[in-house]
Amino acid sequence: MQAFLSSSIPATSYSRSSFLPQPPQAPAKLALPSGPRGAAAAVARRAVEAGRAGRCVAASASSSPATTTAAATEVLGIMKAWVYDAYGDASVLKLDEAVAVPPVADDQVLVKVVAAALNPVDAKRRAGKFQATDSPLPTVPGYDVAGVVVKVGSQVKGLKEGDEVYGMISEKPLEGPKQSGSLAEYTAVEEKLLALKPKGLDFAQAAGLPLAILTANEGLEKAGFSAGKSVLVLGGAGGVGSLAIQLAKQVYGASKVAATASTKKIELLKSLGADVAIDYTKENFEELPEKYDVVFDAVGQGDKAVKVVNEGGSVVVLTGAVSPPGFRFVVTSNGSTLEKLNPYLESGKVKPLVDPTGPFPFSQVVEAFSYLETGRATGKVVISPVP
């Protein structure tokens, strides 16, 4: 089951049944009066407008009603969201304009989604690859989010309305993930899973980070990676691989970083910090003489990866077969880890990589999934702006 985070799947057709339960004809409205909450909604509107213009707006709501000038607005009890009520290929996804806004628990915040990102695990989940531990259908998919807080639960201490945040909305992506995900106008998220959006990054860049950067970091950490060690990243131009290269070099202090990619992506590997860029169309990495302390396999070549690891080293396997000393894990969402990595993102030492085909508009989520599942994306497939 753990392998479902990182590889594409063959498309399979299934039948559809019914959509998400519809709210009443006259849905209740969550009022956002003038003051902090009204200001938060105003920030959210400006953030979405900035997303449409391809720029980032750094703004926050005042905590003092006396200093707030934003006009009052309302969050309706319904929202637009992408939904599937049967497992299958991308065609099961439908845009529903009358989905209930998720309720906000005491430890959660309601986020106005500005951008979201797709991951292979989204496609695996939609295809029904881990039904036994999935949340009930119908599902609003999406794990990665960047947006603006518009409501806070009673136990929330560190975030306030108007904060620009990002994160992975389900703590364990394969174990009861949220039924109402990030491919919607709003999503409810536990405070502990979010961090403030890094300064200098727009919402599309931030949305592409959470699951990938947390996976890269946790994999290196579990492998015991540390300063002075060497690493080979298989699939260095992908969402996780591109960040594994940068974290190994900039955060962990690697002595040598090697990575594999196709011919047209070799220069990209070098720009990310790879000391050795291996063109897998021309060379078989397992036949090269160099060995590494850690091999980070993001593409499912664990049987070959074990041939190039030093004695006593580790092989991180995200998908495919696992052979000793390889191991597999499922990433855990953690806002505090994102907070620790924020300085590297804000300084530019670690850079998000958004696939140049996108960002895809919210209306083209089906096309974005189809593109993701070709396995040809460079970096992350992002949806932005979300209206």
- Please tell me the predicted confidence (pLDDT) of residue 46: 56
- Please tell me the predicted confidence (pLDDT) of residue 40: 55
- Please tell me the predicted confidence (pLDDT) of residue 204: 98
Q: Name which of 224, 232, 360, 217 is nearest 285 in CA terms.
A: 232
The residue type at 167:
G
- Please tell me the predicted confidence (pLDDT) of residue 41: 52
Query: How far is the C-alpha of 280 from the C-alpha of 294, rounded, in Å?
Result: 19
In a 3-state reduction of DSSP, which class is residue 302?
A: helix
What are the distances in angstroms from CA 89 to CA 1, 2, 358? 19, 20, 21
Matching residue, tokens 């990030």 = 182
Predicted confidence (pLDDT) per residue in 283-296, tens digit:
999 999 999 999 99
155: exposed, middle or buried (Cβ count in 10 Å: 0-12, 13-18, 19+)? exposed
Which stretch of DSSP H or E encloses residue 151? Answer: strand 144-152
Alpha-carbon torsion angle 44, 117, 344, 331, nearest 10: 120
- Please tell me the predicted confidence (pLDDT) of residue 76: 77
Q: Are 156 and 109 in contact (CB under 8 A)?
A: yes
Q: Which residues of the chain have pLDDT under 70?
A: 1-74
Q: Are 325 and 293 in contact (CB under 8 A)?
A: no
Pull the structure tokens for residue 35: 């003051």
Query: How far is the C-alpha of 166 from the C-alpha of 335, rounded, in Å?
Result: 9
Pull the structure tokens for residue 75: 């969050």
Predicted confidence (pLDDT) per residue in 165-177, tens digit:
999 999 999 999 9
This prediction's pTM: 0.84
Q: Which domains does the chain have, with CATH numbers?
A: 78-197+354-383 (3.90.180.10), 212-328 (3.40.50.720)
- Please tell me the predicted confidence (pLDDT) of residue 34: 33
| Average pLDDT value over all residues in the chain | 86
